[in-house]
Structure 1
Amino acid sequence: MDAATIGAALGAGALIGLVLGLVGGGGSILAVPLLVYLVGVGSTHAAIGTAAVAVSANALASLIGHARGGRVKWRCAGVFAIAGIAGAALGAELGKSVDGQRLLLLFGLLMIAVGLSMLRPRRTAPAPDVRLTRESAGVLLPRLVPIGLTVGFAAGFFGIGGGFLIVPGLVLATRMPLNFAIGTSLVVVSALGATTALSYALSGLVNWPLTALLIAGGVAGTMAGIALGRRLGARKGLLERGFAGIVIAVGSYVSLSSLPY
């Protein structure tokens, strides 16, 4: 591995971590395009497998801070994660059978859709004390399970952590506040990322040296992003809209470059 590739991998990891620190999610959706177009990974499937390992590791690191702050709904996370793991396992197996160029095209279209959805105004969830108990299970389980299964399938198919899908999914299913949904989502991101990573690793589709560089860069980027996010806390909405614009732009580039000529 030459110096340029090492530098590109560290830079990609740092950028992913920076985005995670600034807006609390979404960095994983940039991982595959960065590995393909910046780092130069030739195989789309190898990029997906490598990104999945790095995303899972970075999510676990970020989860520690949220757990210490009491912003994780563990029971809701557990149910969502179990359903999501089943979906991710199916999605990963199907994703490996799809042609790499077609997978990139679909991934680009997903990025555009996600970016557009991020521009929609959010409403504050009115259920800060939501808990999964025997009394609430009849209401919450029929929502958590199908949404978790669907999100997990998408995460496995595209090899992404799915935080940008998990957060709104948790809010939709439980009406928990956004800050709790972000913290809780990291449990699910870790589980889904690990499931997808295991599937690709067993198929020999993980570049472990690149994974280590992504994680190293991600740690530094996350620390910088959190610090910068505290200074720009009053402009979080502007940051999220800016990130949505980046996602749409990158998704458009990925889609156009993947079209058959």
Structure 2
Amino acid sequence: MSGVLAVAAALPCGLLVGVLLGALGGGGSILAVPALVYLLGQSPHEATAGALIVVAVGAVTGLACHGRAGRVRWAAGAVFGALGTAGSYLGTRWSATLDPTVLMTAFAGLMLTVAGALVLRGRRAPTERPQAKGARRHPARIAATASAVGLLTGFFGVGGGFVVVPALTLVLGLEMPVAIGTSLLVILVNSATALATRAGTGGLDWPLLAGFAACAAAGSYLGNRLATRLPAAALANAFAALVTVVAVTMAVTAIPRL
């Protein structure tokens, strides 16, 4: 695919990723890797690195929107993100050693897990209650969860928001809207760590990624506005269906090559 055509194809992909990232506080970024590989011709390792740039840019835009609305707990998000940096570093190093086919097969499995988690989150959302403010928080549990999120970010090049949002509600006791906003700060910290770890490991198609990231930023803003107009469960279910289709397609393509 020529450079101009690749950038043109990246625009709708980036917009979709950004909309989902802004509306759901994560999850949308998981579409960046398959889009870069199957639609834009990147190798799996290039795609997992490039996706981190797209995720980071989209997270900044969404974070600004949620921050202005008072839906970000800056201190809690910064600490949670910092606790995940070691996992992000290890995940990045581990990912670089894997065969590309194995990496994409594992990614398909991750996508199916995400789809299931989103459906469950949508069903529980009306009845979920955050922990009381005085609830006891276990530092070891918080550190373990943060490290797992960082590992996912570094290994797969995804933000991990599908894990961060429920973790922030259950472990830190944040209400769902605040957890969604705060998750973007965690995603940004983990993405920056993974990008720093990957620095100098290979060339990236910067024009393509710039177009993709710019659309992700615009989409994140639109997604933030959309989230106030549509039921979260409807968004989550529609996204879960899309992720399932993409994951099955990836698995059918990758598994025979193992």
Q: TM-score, normalised by structure 2?
A: 0.90
- Using the TM superposition, give the Cα deviation of residue 3 of structure 1 relative to its aligned residue in structure 2, in angstroms: 2.6
Equivalent positions of 1:5-24 (< 5 A) are 5-24=6-25
Please give the residue correspondences for 1:46-125 in structure 2 after superposition, counting only pairs within 5 Å. Answer: 46-120=46-120, 121-122=123-124, 123-125=127-129
Aligned 1:112-191 pairs, distance under 5 A: 112-120=112-120, 121-122=123-124, 123-127=127-131, 129=133, 139-191=137-189
Asked if the contact 2:58–2:216 (Cα under 8 Å) also holds between the matched residues in 1, the reply is yes
Map Cα deviations across residues 62-115 of structure 1 (whole Å, 9 max, x no partner).
111212222122222122111111100000000011111100000000100110
Shift of 1:223: 3.3
**Deviation (angstroms), 1:127:** 3.5
> Which segments of 5 or more consecutive residues in structure 1 lack a partner in the other structure?
131-135
Q: Is the Cα contact below 8 Å between 2:17 and 2:31 reproduced in 1?
A: yes
**Structure 2: gaps (5+ residues):** none
Whether the aligned pair in 2 keeps the contact of 1:32 and 1:47 (CA below 8 Å) is yes
Task: Give the whole-Å Cα distance in 1 for the aligned partners of 2:197 and 2:18.
Answer: 24
Is the aligned partner of 1:248 residue 2:252?
Answer: no
How far apart, CA to CA, are the structure 1 residues paired with 2:74 and 2:224? 23
Match of 1:133 in 2: none
Instruction: Tell me, in whole angstroms, the C-alpha distance in 2 between the residues paired with 1:51 and 1:11.
Output: 15
Corresponding residue for residue 207 of structure 1? 205
After superposing the two structures, state which structure 1 stretch, 22-31 or 93-102, moved more.
Answer: 22-31
Partner Cα distance (1:78, 1:125) in 2: 23
Distance (whole Å) between structure 2 residues aligned to residue 106 and residue 15 of structure 1: 23
- Partners of 1:49 and 1:201 within 8 A in 2: no
**One-letter amino acid of the structure 2 residue matched with residue 192 of structure 1:** N
Contact 2:88–2:152 (Cα < 8 Å) also in 1 = yes
Is the deviation greater in 207-216 or in 180-189? 207-216
Q: What is the letter of the counterpart of residue 75 of structure 1?
A: A
User: What is the distance in 1 between the residues matched to 2:145 and 2:226?
Assistant: 33
Following superposition, the deviation at residue 140 of structure 1 comes to 4.1
Partners in 2 of 1:27 and 1:210 — Cα distance?
19
Mapped to 1, the partners of 2:67 and 2:225 lie a distance apart of 18
Residues of 2 paired with 1:158 and 1:151: CA distance? 11
Q: TM-score with structure 1 length normalisation?
A: 0.89
What is the aligned-residue RMSD (CA, Å)? 1.9
- Tell me, yes or no, if the aligned pair for 2:83 and 2:146 is still in contact at 8 Å: yes
Residue pair 1:50, 1:205 contacting (<8 A) in 2 also: no
Residues of 2 paired with 1:128 and 1:11: CA distance? 42
Shift of 1:201: 2.7
